[in-house]
Amino acid sequence: MARKSKTMTKGNHILTPPQNLTSRKQTKEFLRPAKEAAAAATQTESEFLTHGSPELRSPLSVILGYSELMTEGEFGPLSDEQGQILERVRQNALELYGLITEMSNREERETLAR
């Protein structure tokens, strides 16, 4: 009884392993492109988090700081509508800041585990 071969996709291409895989070497060769692609993706993610996190945190800190000053009336009184809009901006900035921190912390833990 013939076994159905498994397929993998790479971009827009479908890869099918040789029908008679008889050695580990053939299997490793077949899977090598997928392993390399996964390693490259992990490296790209790591580089983004290493260099991108501070680049995102800095402007978010400024947004949070100014929104706090505005809420406290440092630049003059706010209407109720302005206060509500500013609170939404602040909440969304806090959420984004938290996500960036969470991703960065996860990357640090993964780097230490390697």
In a domain, 5, yes or no: no
Q: Could you tell me the pTM of the whole model?
A: 0.58
In a domain, 10, yes or no: no
* pLDDT tens digits, one per residue of 49-108: 777 788 888 999 999 999 999 999 999 999 999 999 999 999 999 999 999 888 888 877
Beta bridge partners of 10: 13
In a domain, 6, yes or no: no
Q: How many distinct structural domains can be found in the chain? A: 1
* pLDDT tens digits, one per residue of 57-69: 899 999 999 999 9
Q: Residue 49's domain spans which residues?
A: 26-113
In a domain, 50, yes or no: yes
In a domain, 48, yes or no: yes
In a domain, 7, yes or no: no
In a domain, 56, yes or no: yes
In a domain, 80, yes or no: yes
3-state secondary structure 79-103: CHHHHHHHHHHHHHHHHHHHHHHHH
